[in-house]
């Protein structure tokens, strides 16, 4: 059995959460459970890639230290990464034990938040550890507290090893509705995208591209009397695949030609022309050569975006939709 621990505190020596985790790990060692701990404060730049480690686990522990309010930023970043990049099919069968230790107030609210969040992700919460600690020494020397923590660890082992059933909750129904409106990615795409987000150089380059797009639009808008061109307009019009009840607008800047191709989709209607418009749902930037390769069916918008040949600002779901609206693969 494999259990992963994700610790969201700051790693302070006096943090009682660390004591609780150490005691639980001792029990797991006796039960011959493979335990791996991930200290989120040591992995600030790699938190978005951590959902991929869930694939190895049979159960996990989410440990939060409440120092003033809530579960803390590191744990929130991890949960956000699980929603954006995690394998939902894997999380559906994954048990989660919350460990919340407070030195101020709010441990019960934080515990409820972790349970609800994990249910929304599709996972199965199990009985955890929730406590308020005023004096570290008294807490760590109290044998009764130690026995309670050890019993909790044993219960986690039984729950995970026996694959115990949990009662359904309304969060499961809410999750289905939320997933329908979120970005639909394959596990491979999620993993690749999470690595891009964790790459500081890549993120910096994307920000620079966005700034360049904004400044370019200012320059384009100042130009007057530009001739209307027809390149690519026919190609987009011919392959247009209407999507019922779907509407979006795209501005595709062809940077080496200093032209902007404007696409507006409203159900079965398509507007396709060259126009200097900046207030669109998606703002994309690529070269003439890359757009030509897409129109000729040699690659897709999604592949160009993932490879960095096309930068874009806007909803990732709308970017993916481009390949459904304009399928050049059969040309």
- The pLDDT tens digits for 66-76 are 998 899 999 99
Which of 1-5, 179-183, 210-214, 248-252 shows the lowest per-residue confidence on average (mean pLDDT)?
179-183
Which pLDDT belongs to residue 86? Answer: 87
Whether residue 78 is contained in a domain is answered as yes
Cβ pair 251, 213 in contact under 8 A? no
227 band by pLDDT with thresholds 50, 70 and 90? very low
- Name the one residue in this structure whose structure tokens are 């060692």: 29
**Half-sphere exposure of residue 211: CA atoms within 13 angstroms, side-chain side:** 6
Question: CA–CA separation, 86 vs 108, rounded Å?
Answer: 26
Which of 15-19, 82-86, 153-157, 202-206 shows the lowest per-residue confidence on average (mean pLDDT)?
202-206
- Same domain assignment for residues 131 and 170: yes
Whether residue 159 is contained in a domain is answered as yes
- Name the one residue in this structure whose structure tokens are 């394959």: 186
Domain enclosing residue 257, as ranges: 199-325
| Mean pLDDT for all residues in the chain | 85
List, in sequence order, every residue forming a beta bridge with 277; answer none if it has no partner. none
Query: Which residue, 152, 185, 218, sits at the end of a domain?
Result: 185
Which pLDDT belongs to residue 207? Answer: 65
pLDDT in tens, 15-46: 999 999 999 999 999 999 999 999 999 998 88
Whether residue 191 is contained in a domain is answered as no
Query: Which residue, 129, 152, 185, sits at the end of a domain?
Result: 185
2-7 vs 124-125, strand pairing mode: unpaired
Helix axes 16-30, 143-161, angle to 10 degrees: 50
**Ramachandran bin of 183, using left for φ above 0, alpha for ψ from -120 to 50, beta for the remaining angles:** beta
Distances (CA, A) of 173 to 52, 88, 304: 25, 14, 35
Whether residue 193 is contained in a domain is answered as no
Cβ within 8 Å of residue 46, ≥6 positions away: 198
**pLDDT of 181 strictly over 50:** no
**pLDDT of 198 strictly over 80:** no
Cβ within 8 Å of residue 274, ≥6 positions away: 226, 228, 229, 233, 259, 260, 261, 262
**Ramachandran bin of 122, using left for φ above 0, alpha for ψ from -120 to 50, beta for the remaining angles:** left
pLDDT in tens, 263-272: 999 999 999 9
- Name the one residue in this structure whose structure tokens are 């920000």: 207
- Same domain assignment for residues 92 and 216: no
- Same domain assignment for residues 170 and 286: no
Question: CA–CA separation, 62 vs 75, rounded Å?
Answer: 8
**pLDDT of 172 strictly over 50:** yes
The domain total for the chain is 2
- Same domain assignment for residues 173 and 208: no
- Same domain assignment for residues 125 and 232: no
CATH number where 178 lies: 3.40.50.360
Helix axes 200-222, 187-198, angle to 10 degrees: 80
Question: CA–CA separation, 57 vs 315, rounded Å?
Answer: 31
């Amino acid at each position: 059995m494999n259990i992963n621990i994700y610790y969201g505190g700051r790693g302070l020596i006096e943090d009682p959460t660390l004591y609780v985790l150490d005691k639980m790990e001792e029990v797991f060692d006796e039960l011959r459970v493979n335990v791996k701990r991930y200290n989120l404060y040591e992995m600030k730049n790699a938190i978005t890639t951590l959902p991929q480690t869930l694939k190895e686990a049979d159960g996990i522990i989410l440990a939060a230290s409440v120092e003033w309010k809530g579960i803390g930023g590191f744990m929130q970043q991890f949960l956000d990464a699980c929603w954006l990049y995690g394998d939902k099919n894997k999380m559906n069968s994954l048990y989660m034990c919350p460990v919340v230790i407070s030195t101020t107030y709010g441990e019960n609210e934080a515990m409820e938040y972790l349970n609800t969040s994990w249910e929304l992700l599709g996972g199965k919460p199990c009985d955890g550890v929730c406590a308020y600690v005023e004096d570290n020494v008294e807490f760590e020397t109290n044998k009764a507290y130690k026995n309670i923590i050890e019993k909790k660890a044993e219960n986690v082992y039984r729950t995970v090893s026996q694959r115990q059933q949990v009662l359904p909750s309304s969060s499961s129904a809410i999750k289905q509705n939320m997933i329908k409106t979120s970005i639909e990615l394959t596990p491979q795409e999620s993993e690749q995208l999470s690595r891009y987000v964790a790459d500081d150089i890549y993120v910096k380059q994307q920000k620079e591209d966005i700034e360049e797009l904004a400044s370019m639009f200012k320059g384009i808008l100042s130009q007057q009397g530009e001739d209307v061109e027809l390149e690519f307009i026919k190609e987009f019009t011919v392959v247009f695949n209407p999507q019922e009840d779907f509407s979006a607008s795209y501005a595709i800047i062809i940077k080496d030609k200093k032209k902007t191709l404007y696409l507006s989709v409203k159900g079965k209607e398509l507007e396709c022309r060259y126009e200097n418009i900046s207030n669109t749902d998606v703002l994309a930037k690529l070269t003439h050569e890359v757009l030509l390769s897409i129109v000729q069916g040699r690659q897709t918008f999604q592949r160009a975006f993932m490879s960095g040949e096309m930068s874009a600002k806007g909803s990732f779901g709308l970017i993916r939709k481009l390949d459904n609206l304009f399928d050049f693969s059969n040309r």
